[in-house]
C-alpha cells in the first residue's frame, strides 16, 4: 500500500496540466481506479484484517484527493499568473479626462463674508440693481443736485418721453438695500447686503460694475465702538489671522454721522499682504453711524433707534486676500484666470472648517 | 484743495512739522492726498565757495574751479558763465541725486579734466526755471545745508505744498482759513485773528444792481459790488504770484489774482468786471432759454430756461456764480473795475453748471455753499488788496437782496458722544472743541457758524466733537449677539438655492464667469432684449449700452474671447440677474450654462466628442434636481428664437411655468456672436421652481421589496417624429403599480433605419422594470403586462413591435 501511495503522490507532483491530473485521478481514485479496486478486495478479508486495512485505504484515498486538489489549485494559479503576465497595460497613460469646474472669487468671497456675519447674527438682504432715484439717493440723505451725487458717477436708465419721474439708476452702492430692509423689517435689524453695483468709471483700478457688501445693525444702544469691534472681528476672521488692528479716520458720507474711513494695519513685505503687522495702513472700507434722516426715511424712529452701517468692496477683499492683481480681469472671463483664481465646487467656507483651504 | 505751509501759517500760529500737520489733517477728515516738500530733496546739498576759477585748457566755455566744501577743496568743471572766484555756490557731490536733470552724480572727466561734483542752477534743483547760470548766494557759510539756508532766507522757495481731498460737506475747508481752524481746534496751534478791513467809498457807485423778483428765491440771496476807478492792472507782485503758482494756478493779472487769492484763502469766490464794458446797470435774472454767452474760457454757451445770469442793459454778461463772460472780463488795459461778491443758491448753481457742463472752480465752491456772513467782509478785504496792488478809488458798495440769516442752534447733549460713538470725552472738552470750531454756545444750545452749512442736527455736533478728539482713540466694544446660543441659519431658501445651484454647476465641470450686466444693443436684440426701457441713458461705451435680457450673450462673448486666445472647448456658467424692463422689479435670477466645442480633450480612449443637447439637458436636469424641482416635468418645444428650432426644449411645470430652456444655439446667433460651434446651452430660472410644501427634515420610509424585479426590453417601430417621452409615458401608464421605471436605451434612425423599417420610420427601444410587491411574478403575468405595454404604446404612437 505504501508503494501505491508513493506512486500516485509522485505522479500528482509531476503532473503538467489539468488533463494529466484528471488521468491520475481516474487511475487512482476513480470508480475503477487502483484504490477502488483495493477497496473491493476488502470484502474478501477477514473482519480483523478489514478493521486494519479499511481505515488505511480510506486515509490513502483522502490523502490522494487532497494532493489532487492542491495540485489543481497550484496549476490554476500558475495558469493565471501566466495570463496576467500577458495582460500588461501602460499605467503611465493619462486617466480619462474629467472636467473640473470652478467658482468665481467674487462668489467665493461673498460666501465667506456671509458666513462670518451669519455667525454674528446678520442675515442677508437683497435689493434690485435697477434702483429708484429715491432709494439710491434721497432716502440716503443725498438730495437732488447735492454735490455728493456727482461723486458717484451714476448710470441713469433711459426715460420715455412723457414719463416725468426722475430716471432710475443702476444702484451706485449697496446702501439702498439698507432702506429696503428697514422699510421691510423695521428695527431692530442686522443685515448684510452683498451684490453688484455700478459706476461710470473704467481705468486701471475701476470697472463700471463691481461688488459691495453693505452691513447694517440697528438697535437701541448700538454705538460706533460696536462698529469697530464688529469690523475687527470680521477682518480677523476674513483674513484668517489672530490679530488685526483697525484705525478709524473721520470722513464724510451723507448717510452716516459720524462717518469714518477704516484703515487696516498691514505690511507689503515681499510684495505680499500681511494683515495685522507692519507699518502700512490700507484703506479698506467706509462706515459710520446711520444718519437720523436715513432712519426716518426708512420709517425707523431715530429717537428710539440707532446703529451702524458699512460698505466693503468684495472684489477688493478678494484681491487682497488671494493676491489677485487686476480688477478688470475679474469680468473678462479668461479661462486661464477662472481656473487659476477660481475655487473648487466643494470649497465651501464654513466657520468650523475655516474659510479657505 | 492745495495750499502751502506758509499760507497756512498766515492763519495758524504753529510750530508743528509738515508731517504732524498732515497726520492731523487726515485724521480730522481732511484726507491728505499728497505732500510736495522741496526741502526733502534739497537736504543733502551744501554750500561751497569758489576759491579759484580758470579757463579749461581744452574748451572755450568751460572753467575749472577749485571749490571749498565741507569735505575740503574740490576740483569742479563748470560751464556756467557766472562761475568765478569768490562766489558762494550750491554743491552737489558725487553720489548725490540731482532732481532737475534726473541724474545721480559720479566723478567724471570733462574734456580730460576730472570733475568732482557740480555747482547747481535753480533749474537743476527744481527751484525755478532759471538756468542762465549757477546759483550765487548773497550769504552763507561753507558746509551749511542749502535747505537750511533757503528756509532761513527764501522760505517761499521751499514752501511745502499739501494737497487734501475735501468731502462735499466741508466747503469751509476749501479755504485755507477753514483748514487752519480745524487744526487749531485739534491743538496744533492757535488760529490767528481774522483780518478785517473797511474801505469807505468816496463816490456813489455808478453801476446799480437789481435782482429780479423771481430770482430772489432759489437764485441769488445777496449781490454786492462796487466800482474801483483808476486802477492800474498788470502782473501781481511776486509774493502773490508765488502763492498761486505753488498751488498750481497761473497768475494772470493783479485784479484776477486778487480774486483767486480770496477764493483759496477764505473760500470766497469773487468776480471782476471791466466796468467800462458794462452798459448801464447790472441785473440778476433768470434766462428764458436759448440766449448765448461766450465765457472767459472762450467757449459759447447756450442757456437753458431758468438759469441765473447777470446782464447789463443789453445782454447777458456772466453766468452767475459759475463763470464770467469774455466780453466784460478784465485785461491789462482795464482801468475801472467792478468787483462782485454774491451768495447764490447752491442747487441753482448745480443745475445750471450741469446743464452747461461747466466744471469751474467757482461752480465747485458755490454749489457746496460759501459763507454768506463773509460776503461783505470779503468784498472789503478784496477792495483793500486791489487798492494796495493797483491803486484806484473805490465807490460806495451797492447791494441787492439781503444776507441770509443762517443762525440755528442744536442742543449739545454731552452724553450723546458716549452713547452714539462710545468715546468718553469730558463735557468741558466738548464745549471747548465746538467753540474752537466757531460754534457759539448759549447754555447747552450750540449755534452753528455761518460757514458750516453741513451742520443740521445734534448728530452733527457729536460728529464734530468725536472728529476733533480723534476717532483713532475709539476702542472696540463687543456687539452682543441677538440670540444666546448656537447661531440660527440666516440664508433664505432662495439664497440657499442660489448657492446650491452655483456649486452644482461648478461640480459638473463648468467655470463660473462674472460678466457685465450691460451688453451692446445688437447682442441684446438677438436675445429678445435691446428695448429702450432697458437702455442706459449714459453708457460708458456702445458695448455696454443695454441691460442684458439673458446671461447667454455675455457668456457667448466670453467664449468668443477665449476662442480668440486659442481655447476652443469651454464650459462657462454664470449666476446673476437678467433684465426684461427698466423698473426695479424687472429682473429675474438666471443660471446660464454654455458648452462649446468638445466634451473632453483628445485622449487614447476616444472620450472626445462634440457637445450636444443631451449634455446641456443632463446638466440642466442635474441643477433642477439639486435645487429641488419636482421630478415630473414637461418638455416643450417652443423655445425662443435664439435657440435651434429643432434642437431645443423647455423644461416646464405645466405649459406656462418654464423652469429651464436647453438646446443648441441658433447657428445665426453663433455666427453673429463670433463663436465657432458646436455650442449648446441652458438657461434656468431658479425663482420659478416652486418650494416644496412639506416642512421638516423627516423623509418618507423606504419601501424596498424583497421580491425579484423583472426587466423586459421592447423595440418599437414608430414614425420618425414620434417623441421618446410620449412612448415612455404610454408604457409607464400600462400598469402604474407594477412598472417601476421605463428607460429608453436605443434610438435607431436615419437612412439605414428607414431602409430596414420603411420611409419615415425609426426604432425606439425601451427597457421596462417591473417590481412586484406581494408575490413573485409568473410568466403569464409578465406576458400580460407586456401585452398591455405594447397596446398602450400602439395607441399613443401607432408604433408596433419591431420584428
Touching check for B234 and chain A: CB below 8 Å? no
Touching check for B653 and chain A: CB below 8 Å? no
Q: If phi over 0 gives left and psi between -120 and 50 gives alpha, with beta otherwise, what is residue A297?
A: alpha
Q: What is the pLDDT of residue A122?
A: 95
Å between B247 CA and nearest CA of chain A = 23
> Measured between CB atoms, which of B27, B511, B570 is closest to A250?
B27
Q: Which residues in chain B (372-391) have CB-CB distances under 8 A to chain A?
A: none
Between CA B661 and CA B613 the distance in angstroms is 11
Q: What is the pLDDT of residue B526?
A: 97
Q: What is the pLDDT of residue A145?
A: 80
Instruction: Specify whether the CB–CB gap between B403 and B221 falls below 8 A.
Output: yes
Instruction: Specify whether the CB–CB gap between B245 and B271 falls below 8 A.
Output: no
Q: By three-state DSSP, how is residue A328 classified?
A: helix
The answer to whether the CB atoms of A146 and B350 lie below 8 A apart is yes
Q: What ipTM does the predicted assembly reach?
A: 0.90
For range B10-33, the mean pLDDT: 94
Q: Which residues in chain B (289-328) have CB-CB distances under 8 A to chain A?
A: none
Q: What angle do CA B557, B559, B562 make, to 5 degrees?
A: 110
Contact list in B for residue A230 (CB cut-off 8 A) is 476, 479
From the list A313, A297, A296, the residue with the least C-alpha distance to A305 is: A296
> Measured between CB atoms, which of A131, A293, A333 is closest to B572?
A333
Reported as half-sphere exposure (CB side, CA atoms, 13 A), residue A143 has a value of 10
Contact list in A for residue B558 (CB cut-off 8 A) is 332-333
Touching check for B538 and chain A: CB below 8 Å? yes
Contact list in B for residue A188 (CB cut-off 8 A) is 482
DSSP-derived secondary structure letter, B490: -
Contact list in A for residue B419 (CB cut-off 8 A) is 221, 223, 306
Task: Convert the pLDDT of each residue in A309-345 to its tens digit.
Answer: 999 999 999 999 999 999 999 999 999 999 999 999 9
For range B740-755, the mean pLDDT: 94
The answer to whether the CB atoms of A260 and B350 lie below 8 A apart is no
The answer to whether the CB atoms of A158 and B536 lie below 8 A apart is yes
Q: Which of B351, B363, B477, B479 to mutate to test the interface with A (most CBs of A within 10 A)?
A: B479
pLDDT at A151 over 80: no
**Chain-wide mean pLDDT for chain A?**
92
Q: How far is CA A246 from the centre of its chain?
A: 29
Touching check for B359 and chain A: CB below 8 Å? no
pLDDT at B730 over 90: yes
Å between A198 CA and nearest CA of chain B = 9
Q: What is the pLDDT of residue B127?
A: 81
- For chain A, the 3-state helix, strand and coil shares in percent, each to the nearest 5, are 45, 20, 35
The answer to whether the CB atoms of B29 and A155 lie below 8 A apart is no
For range A24-53, the mean pLDDT: 85
Q: What is the pLDDT of residue A138?
A: 96
The answer to whether the CB atoms of A249 and B607 lie below 8 A apart is no
pLDDT at A38 over 90: no
Residues forming beta bridges with residue B310, ordered by sequence position: B284, B318
pLDDT at B407 over 80: yes
Q: Cell 484776477 sits at which residue?
A: B256
DSSP secondary structure of B363-415? HHHHTT---GGGHHHHHHHHHHHHHHHH--EE-PPEEEE-------EEE--TT
Residues forming beta bridges with residue B762, ordered by sequence position: B718
Q: What is the pLDDT of residue A228?
A: 96
Task: Convert the pLDDT of each residue in B675-725 to its tens digit.
Answer: 998 999 999 999 999 998 877 888 889 988 899 999 999 999 999 999 999
CA distances from A339 to A100, A103, B352 (A): 9, 9, 50
pLDDT at B38 over 90: no
The answer to whether the CB atoms of B562 and A335 lie below 8 A apart is yes
The answer to whether the CB atoms of B478 and A226 lie below 8 A apart is yes
pLDDT band at A3 (very low <50, low <70, confident <90, very high): confident
Residue of A nearest to B345 (CA): A145
Residue of B nearest to A302 (CA): B459
For range B536-565, the mean pLDDT: 97
pLDDT at B108 over 90: no
Touching check for B498 and chain A: CB below 8 Å? no
Contact list in B for residue A129 (CB cut-off 8 A) is 517, 577, 587
pLDDT band at B655 (very low <50, low <70, confident <90, very high): confident
> Measured between CB atoms, which of B509, B513, B576 is closest to A333?
B513
For range B592-620, the mean pLDDT: 95
Contact list in A for residue B604 (CB cut-off 8 A) is 93-94
For range B536-549, the mean pLDDT: 96
The answer to whether the CB atoms of A158 and B539 lie below 8 A apart is no
From the list B345, B131, B330, the residue with the least C-alpha distance to B228 is: B330
The answer to whether the CB atoms of B506 and A101 lie below 8 A apart is yes
Q: Which of A257, A291, A306 to mutate to test the interface with B (most CBs of B within 10 A)?
A: A257
Q: What is the pLDDT of residue B322?
A: 96
The answer to whether the CB atoms of A96 and B26 lie below 8 A apart is no
Q: Which of A99, A137, A149, A282 to mutate to test the interface with B (most CBs of B within 10 A)?
A: A99
Q: By three-state DSSP, how is residue B137 classified?
A: strand
Residue-wise burial string across A53-67, b where 16 or more C-beta atoms lie within 10 A, e elsewhere = beeebeebbeebeeb
Flag the least confident range among A3-7, A128-132, B262-266, B653-657: A3-7
Instruction: Specify whether the CB–CB gap between B589 and B551 falls below 8 A.
Output: no
Between CA A314 and CA A324 the distance in angstroms is 12
Residue contacts between A and B (CB atoms, under 8 Å): 284
Q: Which residues in chain B (171-190) have CB-CB distances under 8 A to chain A?
A: none
The answer to whether the CB atoms of B536 and A157 lie below 8 A apart is yes
Contact list in A for residue B537 (CB cut-off 8 A) is 155-159, 167
Contact list in B for residue A231 (CB cut-off 8 A) is 476
Between CA B147 and CA B683 the distance in angstroms is 70
Q: What is the pLDDT of residue B415?
A: 93
DSSP-derived secondary structure letter, B419: I
From the list B693, B742, B673, the residue with the least C-alpha distance to B714 is: B742
**Chain-wide mean pLDDT for chain B?**
93
Contact list in A for residue B516 (CB cut-off 8 A) is 208-209, 331
In chain B, the N- to C-terminal Cα span, in Å, equals: 92
pLDDT at A95 over 80: yes
Task: Convert the pLDDT of each residue in B277-295 to its tens digit.
Answer: 999 999 999 999 999 999 9
Q: Which residues in chain B (81-110) have CB-CB distances under 8 A to chain A?
A: none
pLDDT band at A58 (very low <50, low <70, confident <90, very high): confident
> Measured between CB atoms, which of B31, B422, B571 is closest to A224?
B422
Q: What is the pLDDT of residue A46?
A: 85
Contact list in A for residue B561 (CB cut-off 8 A) is 332-334
Amino acid at each position: 500500500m505504501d508503494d501505491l501511495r508513493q506512486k500516485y503522490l509522485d505522479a500528482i507532483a509531476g503532473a503538467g496540466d489539468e488533463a494529466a491530473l484528471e488521468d491520475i485521478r481516474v487511475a487512482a481514485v476513480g470508480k475503477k481506479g487502483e484504490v477502488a479496486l483495493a477497496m473491493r478486495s476488502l470484502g474478501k478479508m477477514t473482519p480483523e484484517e478489514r478493521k486494519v486495512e479499511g481505515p488505511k485505504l480510506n486515509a490513502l484515498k483522502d490523502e490522494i484527493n487532497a494532493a489532487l486538489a492542491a495540485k489543481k489549485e497550484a496549476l490554476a494559479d500558475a495558469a493565471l499568473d501566466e495570463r496576467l503576465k500577458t495582460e500588461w497595460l501602460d499605467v503611465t497613460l493619462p486617466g480619462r479626462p474629467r472636467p473640473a469646474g470652478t467658482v468665481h472669487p467674487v462668489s467665493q468671497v461673498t460666501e465667506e463674508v456671509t458666513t462670518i456675519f451669519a455667525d454674528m447674527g446678520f442675515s442677508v438682504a437683497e435689493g434690485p440693481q435697477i434702483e429708484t432715484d429715491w432709494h439710491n439717493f434721497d432716502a440716503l440723505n443725498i438730495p437732488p443736485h447735492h454735490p455728493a451725487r456727482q461723486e458717484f458717477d451714476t448710470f441713469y436708465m433711459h426715460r420715455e418721453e412723457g414719463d416725468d419721474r426722475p430716471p432710475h439708476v443702476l444702484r451706485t452702492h449697496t446702501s439702498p438695500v439698507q432702506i429696503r430692509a428697514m422699510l421691510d423689517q423695521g428695527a431692530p435689524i442686522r443685515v448684510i447686503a452683498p451684490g453688484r453695483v455700478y459706476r461710470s468709471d473704467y481705468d486701471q483700478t475701476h470697472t463700471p460694475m463691481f461688488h459691495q457688501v453693505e452691513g447694517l445693525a440697528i438697535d437701541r444702544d448700538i454705538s460706533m465702538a460696536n462698529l469697530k469691534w464688529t469690523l475687527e472681528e470680521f477682518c480677523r476672521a476674513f483674513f484668517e489671522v489672530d490679530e488685526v488692528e483697525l484705525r478709524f479716520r473721520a470722513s464724510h458720507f451723507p448717510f452716516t454721522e459720524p462717518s469714518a474711513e477704516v484703515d487696516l494695519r498691514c505690511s507689503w513685505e515681499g510684495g505680499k499682504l500681511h494683515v495685522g503687522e507692519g507699518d502700512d495702513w490700507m484703506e479698506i472700507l467706509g462706515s459710520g453711524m446711520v444718519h437720523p434722516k436715513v432712519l426716518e426715511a426708512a420709517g425707523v424712529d431715530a429717537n428710539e433707534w440707532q446703529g451702524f452701517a458699512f460698505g466693503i468692496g468684495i472684489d477688493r477683499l478678494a484681491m487682497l486676500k488671494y493676491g489677485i492683481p487686476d480688477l478688470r480681469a475679474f469680468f473678462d472671463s479668461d479661462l486661464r484666470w477662472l481656473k487659476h483664481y477660481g475655487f473648487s465646487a466643494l470649497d465651501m467656507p464654513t466657520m468650523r472648517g475655516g474659510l479657505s483651504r | 484743495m492745495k495750499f502751502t505751509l506758509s499760507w497756512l501759517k498766515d492763519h495758524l500760529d504753529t510750530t508743528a512739522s509738515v508731517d504732524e500737520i498732515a497726520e492731523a489733517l487726515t485724521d480730522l477728515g481732511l484726507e491728505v492726498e499728497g505732500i510736495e516738500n522741496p526741502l526733502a530733496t534739497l537736504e543733502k546739498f551744501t554750500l561751497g565757495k569758489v576759491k579759484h576759477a580758470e579757463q579749461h585748457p581744452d574748451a572755450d566755455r568751460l572753467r575749472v574751479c577749485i571749490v571749498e566744501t565741507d569735505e575740503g577743496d574740490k576740483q569742479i568743471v563748470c560751464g556756467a558763465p557766472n562761475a568765478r572766484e569768490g562766489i558762494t555756490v550750491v554743491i552737489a557731490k558725487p553720489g548725490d541725486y540731482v532732481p532737475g536733470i534726473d541724474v545721480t552724480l559720479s566723478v567724471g572727466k570733462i574734456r580730460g579734466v576730472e570733475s568732482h561734483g557740480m555747482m547747481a542752477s535753480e533749474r537743476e534743483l527744481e527751484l525755478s526755471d532759471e538756468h542762465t547760470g549757477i546759483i550765487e548766494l548773497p550769504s552763507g557759510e561753507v558746509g551749511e545745508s542749502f535747505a537750511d539756508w533757503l528756509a532761513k532766507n527764501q522760505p517761499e522757495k521751499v514752501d511745502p505744498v499739501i494737497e487734501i481731498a475735501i468731502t462735499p460737506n466741508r466747503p469751509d475747508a476749501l479755504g485755507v482759513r477753514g483748514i487752519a481752524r480745524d487744526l487749531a481746534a485739534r491743538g496744533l496751534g492757535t488760529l490767528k485773528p481774522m483780518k478785517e478791513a473797511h474801505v469807505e467809498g468816496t463816490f456813489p457807485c455808478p453801476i446799480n444792481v437789481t435782482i429780479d423778483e423771481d430770482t430772489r428765491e432759489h437764485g441769488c440771496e445777496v449781490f454786492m459790488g462796487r466800482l474801483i476807478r483808476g486802477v492800474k492792472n498788470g502782473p501781481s507782485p511776486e509774493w502773490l504770484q508765488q502763492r498761486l503758482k505753488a498751488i498750481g494756478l497761473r497768475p494772470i493779472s493783479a485784479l484776477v489774482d486778487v480774486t483767486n487769492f480770496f477764493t483759496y484763502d477764505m473760500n470766497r469766490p469773487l468776480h471782476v468786471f471791466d466796468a467800462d464794458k458794462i452798459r448801464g446797470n447790472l441785473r440778476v435774472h433768470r434766462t428764458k432759454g436759448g440766449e448765448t454767452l461766450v465765457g472767459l474760457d472762450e467757449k459759447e454757451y447756450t442757456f437753458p430756461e431758468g438759469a441765473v445770469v447777470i446782464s447789463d442793459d443789453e445782454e447777458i454778461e456772466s453766468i452767475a456764480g459759475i463763470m464770467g463772460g469774455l466780453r466784460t472780463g478784465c485785461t491789462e488795459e482795464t482801468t475801472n473795475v467792478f468787483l462782485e461778491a454774491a451768495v447764490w443758491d447752491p442747487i441753482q448753481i448745480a443745475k445750471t453748471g450741469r446743464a452747461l457742463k461747466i466744471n469751474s472752480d467757482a461752480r465747485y465752491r458755490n454749489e457746496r455753499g460759501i459763507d454768506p456772513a463773509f460776503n461783505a467782509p470779503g468784498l472789503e478785504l478784496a477792495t483793500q488788496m486791489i487798492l494796495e496792488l493797483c491803486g484806484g478809488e473805490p465807490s460806495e458798495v451797492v447791494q441787492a437782496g439781503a444776507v441770509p440769516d443762517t443762525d440755528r442752534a442744536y442742543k449739545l447733549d454731552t452724553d450723546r458722544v458716549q452713547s452714539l460713538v462710545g468715546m468718553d470725552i469730558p463735557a468741558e472738552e466738548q464745549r471747548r472743541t465746538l467753540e474752537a470750531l466757531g460754534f457759539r454756545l448759549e447754555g447747552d444750545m450750540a449755534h452753528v457758524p455761518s460757514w458750516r452749512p453741513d451742520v443740521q442736527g445734534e448728530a452733527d455736533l457729536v460728529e464734530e466733537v468725536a472728529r476733533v478728539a480723534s476717532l483713532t482713540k475709539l476702542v472696540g466694544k463687543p456687539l452682543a449677539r441677538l440670540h444666546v446660543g448656537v447661531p440660527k441659519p440666516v440664508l433664505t431658501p432662495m439664497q440657499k438655492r442660489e448657492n446650491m445651484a452655483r456649486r452644482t454647476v461648478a461640480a459638473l465641470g463648468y467655470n463660473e464667469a462674472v460678466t457685465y450686466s450691460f451688453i451692446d444693443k445688437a447682442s441684446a436684440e438677438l436675445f429678445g432684449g435691446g428695448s429702450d426701457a432697458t437702455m442706459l441713458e449714459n453708457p460708458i461705451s456702445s458695448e455696454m449700452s443695454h441691460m442684458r435680457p439673458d446671461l447667454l450673450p455675455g457668456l457667448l462673448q466670453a467664449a468668443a474671447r477665449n476662442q480668440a486666445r486659442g481655447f476652443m472647448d469651454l464650459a462657462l456658467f454664470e449666476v446673476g440677474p437678467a433684465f426684461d424692463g427698466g423698473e426695479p422689479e424687472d429682473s429675474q435670477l438666471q443660471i446660464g450654462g454654455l458648452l462649446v466645442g468638445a466634451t473632453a480633450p483628445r485622449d487614447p480612449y476616444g472620450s472626445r466628442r462634440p457637445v450636444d443637447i443631451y449634455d446641456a439637458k443632463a446638466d440642466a436636469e442635474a441643477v433642477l434636481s439639486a435645487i429641488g424641482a419636482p421630478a415630473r416635468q414637461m418638455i416643450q418645444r417652443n423655445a425662443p428664437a435664439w435657440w435651434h428650432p429643432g434642437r431645443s426644449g423647455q423644461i416646464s411645470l405645466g405649459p406656462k411655468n418654464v423652469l429651464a430652456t436647453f438646446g443648441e444655439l441658433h447657428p445665426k446667433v453663433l455666427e453673429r456672436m463670433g463663436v465657432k460651434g458646436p455650442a449648446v446651452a441652458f438657461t434656468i430660472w431658479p425663482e420659478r421652481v416652486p418650494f416644496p410644501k412639506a416642512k421638516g427634515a423627516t423623509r418618507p420610509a423606504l419601501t424596498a421589496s424583497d421580491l425579484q424585479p423583472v426587466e423586459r426590453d421592447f423595440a418599437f417601430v414608430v414614425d420618425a417624429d414620434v417623441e421618446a417621452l410620449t412612448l415612455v409615458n404610454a408604457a409607464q401608464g400600462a400598469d402604474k403599480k407594477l412598472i417601476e421605471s421605463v428607460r429608453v436605451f436605443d434610438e435607431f434612425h436615419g437612412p439605414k433605419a428607414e431602409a430596414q423599417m420603411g420611409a419615415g420610420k425609426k426604432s425606439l427601444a425601451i427597457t421596462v422594470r417591473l417590481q412586484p410587491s406581494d408575490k413573485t411574478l409568473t410568466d403569464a403575468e409578465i406576458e400580460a403586462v407586456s401585452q398591455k405595454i405594447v397596446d398602450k404604446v400602439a395607441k399613443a404612437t401607432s408604433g408596433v413591435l419591431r420584428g
